[in-house]
Amino acid sequence: MLDDLIDHNRRWAAERSREDPEYFSRLSALQRPDFLWIGCSDSRVPANVITGLEPGEVFVHRNVANLVHRGDMNLLSVLEYAVENLEVKRIIICGHYGCGGVKAAIDGQRHGLIDHWLQPVRDVATNAHQELAAIANEDERFNRLCELSIETQVETLARTPIMQSAWREGKDIEIHGWVYGLNDGLLRDLDCTCGAQAQRDDQTHLEFLRDTSQKT
């Protein structure tokens, strides 16, 4: 099977070169994508394919259940490079319905090390218990948890020092939360976009806390 992959690559490269003789020289010259994609590791959700983007047009980080852990040096390194060096304009956190990671987080079973990784999903489920409990249909309830987790990751990313600093410096970057449907191939915007206002809100909260502590 590995030989098949290499053969497929050779055919793909040859076809690309025939269609566009300058394709690889142009691609190797500069990486300047407008988008950073933070997605799930699920093999059925490849960023370039489902968005119709070409190589070089989107910078990609993927992990199980598309989570933003504030101590994840891998994700933070990708984020900093995308913001500071690539100067991306849009960050998309994209999860998907039917996510195995989200399901593993709440199924009550022991899965090993990944249970620690998935703790943020359980936190979301706990915080949204009343909303989720009111949804009678199990599939709809599960899909809503997938959406709520994505929305929470957008908020978490917006509060990272990297994003706060970027917005303070006047960088025009927005963070979007999307969800992908495996059953229909469609992307949906969850309308939870964060921009520079998130930095101003956090700054106001910090100033309030400083003023309060100084008075006491």
| DSSP states along 48-101 | HHHHTPPTTSEEEEEETT----TT-HHHHHHHHIIIIIS--SEEEEEEETT-HH
Q: What is the DSSP letter of 41?
A: -
Q: Given the residues 11, 44, 70, 168, select the one marked as catalytic.
A: 44
Identify whether 42 is a catalytic site residue.
yes
CA-to-CA dists, residue 30 to 25, 71, 216, angstroms? 9, 30, 54
Q: Which residue has the tokens 């983007």?
A: 53
Identify whether 99 is a catalytic site residue.
yes
Longest distance between any two alpha carbons in the chain, whole Å: 73
Identify whether 40 is a catalytic site residue.
yes
Rg over alpha carbons for the chain, rounded to the nearest Å, is 20
CA-to-CA dists, residue 55 to 7, 18, 62, 87, 201, angstroms? 20, 17, 16, 17, 36
Identify whether 96 is a catalytic site residue.
yes
Q: Given the residues 40, 146, 192, 194, select the one marked as catalytic.
A: 40
Q: Given the residues 94, 96, 176, 192, select the one marked as catalytic.
A: 96
Identify whether 8 is a catalytic site residue.
no
Q: Given the residues 61, 62, 94, 99, select the one marked as catalytic.
A: 99
Burial 156-179 (b: 16+ CB within 10 A, else e): bbbebebbbebbeeebebebbbbb
Which residues, 6 or more positions from 27, have their beta carbon under 8 angstroms from its beta carbon?
55, 56
Task: Write out the catalytic residue numbers.
Answer: 40, 42, 44, 96, 99
